[in-house]
Amino acid sequence: MFPRLVSYLLAVFLRSHRYFPPLLVFLLGLMLLYTARPNPVMGSYAASSVLLYFVSAWIGTGFCGAIGEAQEHIAAVHTGSVRKYLIGKTMAVFACGLLLSLAALIYPVAAGSFDERVRAGEWLTALLAHVELAVLGGLAALILSQPVIRKGSLSAAMLLLVLILSIARDGILKEIGGGFAPLFIPLPPVAPVVDRLINPDADLSMQNAAVWIWPLVYGGVLYVLYLRLAEKKM
């Protein structure tokens, strides 16, 4: 059921040509990132993960615009329930994010852009970071797009604000003070993941492990919230 639904949604998305702008920005961003050589491994992967975060959110928004309301209702009927359709839709968005994650990891290695060989641990860390940020970006777009927020301009503005604040969190807190940190808790936990890529030699501890676990927990909660809100509004 889900493979057919995901294939159908991907086909609709491709036919809409809404994939082209985010894909173009992603490819140009990667090429610009690795124009100068050689590059540090983890610092470069930190930059490409941020790029993927924004591009995945753009793709998630594109899926919401590519599939008309009537098409969504028809697909939900054929799938058997609205929830199953929404699960298929998120799987399609995640599939795009996973493919771009692999591309972001493989491209600099294939192009010989790094100043040293990528170790297995660095591969795994970078893969986890890219996948987590792709998922968080896609989910943020879905929950802030139709049918959760009907007005397209408001949805786009809110999404862009969330993306920027979640990336710039640490810098903002340095300026306004750490006492405002609780205000950033509802935002996707992206900044700590990027910081861990930039500083890969930090001492291991339970707090550092939480950097990787918390995005998975946050993403799971956001996913359930999206399903419930979108199911009620379809």
Where the chain has pLDDT below 70, the residues are 1, 146-147, 150, 152, 200-207
Domain of 184, in residue numbers: 2-233
- Overall number of domains in the chain: 1
The per-residue pLDDT for 206 is 47
Non-local (6+) Cβ contacts of 62 within 8 A are 13, 16, 18, 19, 22
Structure tokens belonging to residue 142: 């879905």
The torsion angles phi and psi of 112, rounded to 5 degrees, stand at 65, 40
Question: Distance (Å, rounded) from C-alpha 55 to C-alpha 57?
Answer: 5
The torsion angles phi and psi of 39, rounded to 5 degrees, stand at -120, 150
The per-residue pLDDT for 202 is 57
Question: Distance (Å, rounded) from C-alpha 203 to C-alpha 106?
Answer: 27
Q: Which segments of 111-198 does DSSP mark as H helices, in order?
A: 120-143, 152-167, 169-176, 191-198
* pTM for this model (two decimals): 0.93
- Which string of DSSP letters, residue by residue, matches 45-58? HHHHHHHHHHHHHH
Question: Distance (Å, rounded) from C-alpha 196 to C-alpha 121?
Answer: 13
The per-residue pLDDT for 148 is 72
The per-residue pLDDT for 201 is 65
